[in-house]
């Protein structure tokens, strides 16, 4: 550590740094022609991408798997057909996936209810015939 009283006085002015160059002020951002509202009508997409309905396929997989296979196949076709430009094919694949998924869920739930009724009737018959 330097003791300024014994040696020499501290510098009166701190060292100066070079002055940065002045840059020109950038121009303001352009104002959008239509403000902050929604885009004009002509810029909206003509069709909306259909849903893949993969939820129905998963439901069919959990309840009745044979109908889940075509549901998954149709659900996987939706995006591919949409990005190829086949709007009608994408909508048809979406409807197929939904149809197979719903039928699979309904059949699976119906079979589960039928199995429960069968077990209940079989146990009831077994209990009453044993007495």
Residue 36 lies in a domain: no
Q: What pLDDT is recorded for position 1?
A: 56
What burial class does residue 99 get, using C-beta atoms within 10 Å of its C-beta: 0-12 exposed, 13-18 middle, 19+ buried? middle
Q: What pLDDT is recorded for position 62?
A: 96
| 67 DSSP assignment | H
Residue 65 lies in a domain: yes
Rounded Cα distance between 28 and 24, Å, is 12
With H, G, I as helix, E, B as strand and everything else as coil, classify residue 123: helix
Residue 20 lies in a domain: no
Q: What pLDDT is recorded for position 74?
A: 97
| Total tally of structural domains belonging to the chain | 1
Residue 119 lies in a domain: yes
- Encode pLDDT of 15-38 as tens digits: 677 877 888 887 877 666 655 555
Region 46-59: what's the mean pLDDT?
Answer: 90
The residue range of the domain holding 100 is: 47-130
Residue 25 lies in a domain: no
Rounded Cα distance between 98 and 104, Å, is 10
* Lowest mean pLDDT, pick from 8-12, 42-46, 71-75: 42-46
Residue 35 vs residues 27, 42, 128: alpha-carbon distances, Å: 19, 16, 80
Residue 11 lies in a domain: no
With H, G, I as helix, E, B as strand and everything else as coil, classify residue 12: coil
Residue 5 lies in a domain: no
Let me know the angle formed at the C-alpha of 115 by 114 and 120, rounded to the nearest 5 degrees.
Answer: 100
- Encode pLDDT of 55-91 as tens digits: 999 999 999 999 999 999 999 999 999 899 888 999 9
Residue 78 lies in a domain: yes
> Any residues with CB less than 8 A from the CB of 6 and at least 6 apart, and which?
none
Q: What pLDDT is recorded for position 44?
A: 46
26: left (phi over 0), alpha (psi -120 to 50) or beta: beta
Q: What pLDDT is recorded for position 56?
A: 96
The overall pTM is greater than 0.95: no
Q: Are 83 and 46 in contact (CB under 8 A)?
A: no
């Amino acid at each position: 550590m330097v003791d300024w009283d014994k040696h020499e006085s501290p510098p009166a002015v701190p060292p100066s740094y070079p002055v940065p160059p002045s840059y020109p002020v950038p121009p303001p951002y352009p104002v959008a022609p239509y403000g902050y509202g929604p885009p004009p009508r002509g810029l909206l997409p003509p069709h909306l991408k259909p849903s893949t309905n993969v939820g129905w396929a998963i439901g069919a997989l959990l309840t009745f798997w044979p109908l889940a296979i075509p549901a998954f196949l149709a659900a996987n076709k939706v995006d591919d057909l949409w990005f190829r430009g086949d709007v009608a094919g994408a909508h048809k694949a979406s409807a197929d996936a939904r149809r197979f998924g719903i039928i699979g869920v309904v059949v699976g739930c119906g079979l589960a209810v039928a199995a429960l009724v069968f077990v209940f009737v079989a146990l009831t018959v077994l209990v009453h015939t044993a007495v």
